[in-house]
Amino acid sequence: MGQLDSANGQDLREMFSAATTWLDKSASDIDALNVFPVPDGDTGTNMLLTMRSSIEEAYRAPDRSASAVAQAMAGGAMVGARGNSGVILSQIWRGLAQGLADKESFTGSDLADALQQASVMAYKGLSNPVEGTILTVVKEASAAAGAQVASGTDDLISVMEAVVNAAGESVANTPSLLPVLREAGVVDAGGQGLYTILEGALRYLEGEVEQMQFRKPQMITSSIPLPTRLSPALADEVSYGYCTEFLLKGQKLDPDKMGKKLKKRGHSLIVVGDESTVRVHIHTYDPGKVIRYATSLGTMDQVSIRNMDEQHHDFLEMQKEKLPAVDMAIVAVVVGNGLADVFRSLGAAAIVPGGQTMNPSAKELLQAVNSVVVGKVIILPNNKNIVLTAEQVPSLTTKSVGVVPTETIPQGVAALLAFDYEADFETNVQIMKDTKSAVKSIEITRAVRSVQLGGLKIKKKQAIGFLDGDLVAVDDKTTGALNQVLAKLDLNQAEVITIYYGADTGLVEAEQVSLSIREQYPQLQIEVVQGGQPHYNYIVSVE
């Protein structure tokens, strides 16, 4: 882990610009969590639009000081805030800007103080703050930052790591604080959105911008077992009215006075701003009265009135579509956007990010098992270093958990393809175990150091090839190492080859490899897939 003593305004802008891009990758997944306050548009989308407005304004900051950029971010978020979550997010940036006032640059200690102010402002904006939401997440994340600094560490990266870890734990705990989340079987969407933003900022500070292109944010799962999704029959009895929000411009506006007046007109009220600009969000059965009151005070802009009953109906329909068709689910450990898409398309209900150099804990696997709505779960570890960890999970839950000890991605794919929706749980576990050995797995990467191993003399950064986990090839080029491994197989007996390319390998090179194999073995069916996996240039399945 590197260290960073301080950062300026440009760093602040770029870290949250990267965080916005990171949020964009999971906005739709966060939308699917949206439950509380029910319904409030699309939480992930609203937070993304708010962040984009914030970053756009940050690029217009008058100078590169931390103070100027933070103020610009807060202003952009205020003007561009969408939905309940977006307005709260704008308050967080407003508090952060207050905490960084008059600072050219900031240290870990400065950031901790600013996050504390952000937490205070987030709570201040709501007429009725509710725990188990984004509010709790920012509070606990800021407390972790303060504790990290109090321990004697002023390093920015260390502080942000503490912030992100605490935010993740806080999100996982939201169902234990808010019954509606527990009943719906999800964590808080706004909290997940904030966690994703903070995680993206940390990854930027750690110099992982390039790797972020090939990864996807982690969706936090509950730290407690969750029963099921929201009950449509029960929820349909509730009427929600209209989500009304707007930006009010005027002179000598009083947000506190407006808040007291509007509190009688609805619920989920947020009124934030200053004497010249006020952002209002409210759930009301009579938006006309709210609009008439606001127009008596100033000029309205960005007016949005949405029928929440219709939104909620759409939400319930989406949840119904997600209900499982069988009483079993599959949890797979995968790293790389393309590979994750492959496993989802083949029926995996939950993906745990992980693989070589990135081994998930038993707790993370347990959270994934608890996140699915069925009582029987099959885990595919897809890496030999994760198999033993996965085998700890059955003893940690009351669910029936079977572990198919897949050691490679190709074995995991083969096991998934063998899953029989008409067979019972025990039969499927056995079928998948039997099938995983029917595929040959090739992995091509580069050596991180010079070594002599298995009769091969390897120099640092040379390409090395593995066949079913055994090191069997070395070459200056990744394609050379791949060809060496393929030569050790009788491809005349094979039928299908699937090439998953990742690391720094591009589509053009992968297609050339495919063409070369096809020329030698025209009978083979060859597929090229963008796996997006880090470290490994090629993962190849031979069946």
The CATH number, out of the four listed (3.40.50.510, 3.30.360.10, 3.40.50.2300, 1.10.645.10), of the domain defined by the range 324-436: 3.40.50.510
Q: Which CATH architecture has domain 440-542?
A: 2-Layer Sandwich (3.30)
* Tens digit of each residue's pLDDT (9 = 90 or more) over 462-499: 999 999 888 899 999 999 999 999 999 988 888 889 99
Query: Where are the domain boundaries for CATH 1.25.40.340 in the chain?
Result: 7-224
* Tens digit of each residue's pLDDT (9 = 90 or more) over 8-30: 999 999 999 999 999 998 888 88
pLDDT at site 75: 93
Query: Where are the domain boundaries for CATH 3.30.1180.10 in the chain?
Result: 440-542
* Tens digit of each residue's pLDDT (9 = 90 or more) over 213-267: 878 888 887 766 654 443 333 344 455 678 888 999 999 999 889 988 898 888 7
pLDDT at site 135: 95
- Look up residue 47 and give its two tokens: 């937070």
337 contacts: CB under 8 Å, gap ≥ 6: 25, 214, 215, 216, 532
pLDDT at site 315: 57
Q: Return the H-helix or E-strand segment holding 306.
A: strand 299-307
Q: Return the H-helix or E-strand segment holding 321.
A: helix 308-322
Query: Where are the domain boundaries for CATH 3.40.50.510 in the chain?
Result: 324-436
Q: Is the peptide bond before 39 cis (omega within 30 degrees of 0)?
A: yes
pLDDT at site 240: 65
**What topology is assigned to 7-224 in CATH?**
1.25.40
Place of tokens 């690029």: 59
Q: What is the mean pLDDT of residues 47-51?
A: 93
d(CA 9, CA 13): 6
**What topology is assigned to 242-314 in CATH?**
Alpha-Beta Plaits (3.30.70)
* Tens digit of each residue's pLDDT (9 = 90 or more) over 294-314: 999 999 988 888 777 666 666
Q: Treating both helix axes as pointing N-terminal to C-terminal, what angle do 507-520 and 478-487 enclose, rounded to 10 degrees? A: 30
pLDDT at site 304: 84
User: In this predicted structure, which of 236-250, 281-295, 362-376, 402-416 has the lowest mean pLDDT?
Assistant: 236-250
Q: What is the mean pLDDT of residues 438-457?
A: 85
* Tens digit of each residue's pLDDT (9 = 90 or more) over 59-84: 999 888 999 999 999 999 998 888 88
Which residues partner with 529 through β-bridges? 500
Q: What is the mean pLDDT of residues 178-197?
A: 85
Q: How confident is the model at residue 36 (pLDDT cuts 50, 70, 90)?
A: very low
* Tens digit of each residue's pLDDT (9 = 90 or more) over 106-120: 999 999 999 999 999
d(CA 87, CA 261): 19
Which residues partner with 352 through β-bridges? 333
The full DSSP string for 389-444 is HHTTGGGG-SSEEEE----SHHHHHHHHHH--TTS-HHHHHHHHHHHHTTSEEEEE
334 contacts: CB under 8 Å, gap ≥ 6: 340, 343, 348, 351, 352, 353, 354, 355, 382, 409, 412
pLDDT at site 231: 38
Residue 347 has pLDDT above 90, yes or no: no
Query: Where are the domain boundaries for CATH 3.30.70 in the chain?
Result: 242-314
Residue 326 has pLDDT above 70, yes or no: no
Q: What is the mean pLDDT of residues 398-427?
A: 90
